[in-house]
Homo-oligomer: A and B are copies of this chain.
Amino acid sequence: MEEFAAVSGISRPTVSKYFNDPESVRKSTRMRIEQALEQHEYRPNIYAINQNRRLTKSIGLVVPFLVDPFFAEIARNIENLIIATGYRPILLNSQGRSEHEVENLESLRSFRPAGVLIAPLGRESDRSALEAFCEDVPTVLFDSNISNIGHGFVGADNRQYARDIVEYLCRSGEPPCFFEMRTPANPNANKRRQSYLQTMEELGYEPHVISVEGTGWAFEDIGYRQGMAVIEKRLLQTNTVLCSNDRLAIGFLAACFEKGYRVGVGPQNALRVAGMDDHPFARFTCPPLTTVAQNYAAVSSSAVETLLTLLSLGDSEYPARREQLFEGRLVKRMSA
């Protein structure tokens, strides 16, 4: 930087100021610097930069399971938003394991990011580790809420999701059973079940929840295996199944196919199957999956905005923890 400052004819501290915020220097000097920049392609050393900055110009982004295209897609959205605001995203994948999640937080600690966006594993998260982290680093949770952890939460309005699709299924055919994992990794599943139960009651139908065994994040496999069992044991009380999420539904559809149950609306079909989330592949299942679409864009931008607001404030003036829930949109396809 010393040498570069010399050739550009500007003092080093001013050049340093320029790289922190090009708008903070006079236009004439800015142009001189940028002119010199074209010829000498100097770039500040990020390690030296961050050594002296309390908080770096980077934002951590932790997702629980990147092989799930749902999270890959939301991570992609958030990454782009972070870049657009001039920060650098640090993407970390917890791979469905609590140890990895904790390691990721430890790793982020040493990166000293300005803030962090995290979609926690949920039930399997190490609550105390998360809590301790959030006290040190401005953190916004998304997708999966953990009560009173972090400085805010942005996610899906699961009650509305389940209500809307249950109402749709009921008025267009037989009322749905609810197919879910008994011990879901993700708290969204519980809210969805509760909302299913409540909506069924309000509509005057008897609810039937089918809670199947299975742990981990291989939801399709669980949906498939347990779907096979459910069909063999004839546990379905009606011809309509609402799966707790699209990935379970994808597995369930595979089980239906193997068992020779035709899925779809209309008298020629044996079953109707629906999911929730509008997984990127839900359009391409056979039949295409009826579901409730997450508002990816709204969740992503709201999470980023919430964090940026925090960053613009001092630690002392943080607002109260707010939970922002976004409604989903019913997407009628051929499966139900």
Contact = CB atoms under 8 A, between A and B. Distances in A.
Given A66-B72, A66-B76, A281-B220, A254 B288 contact: yes
Interface string A188-227: 0000000000000000000000000000000011001000
A76 B69 contact: no
A280 B109 CA distance: 33
Given A250-B281, A280-B67, A110 B43 contact: yes
Interface stretch (A45-53, A145-153, A154-162, A167-175): A45-53
A257 interface: yes
A166 interface: no
Interface of A: 43, 45-51, 66-69, 72-73, 75-76, 79-80, 88, 91-93, 95, 107, 109-112, 220-221, 224, 250-251, 253-254, 256-258, 280-281, 283-288, 334
Nearest to A103: B83
29 contacts: A46-B110, A46-B111, A47-B47, A47-B49, A47-B51, A47-B112, A51-B51, A67-B72, A67-B280, A69-B69, A69-B72, A76-B95, A79-B93, A80-B95, A88-B107, A91-B91, A91-B92, A91-B93, A220-B283, A221-B283, A250-B281, A253-B284, A254-B283, A254-B285, A254-B288, A256-B286, A257-B287, A285-B285, A285-B286
B76 A254 contact: no
Contacts of A72: 66-69, 72
Nearest to A49: B47
A284 B251 CA distance: 6
Contacts of A283: 220-221, 224, 254
A72 B70 CA distance: 12
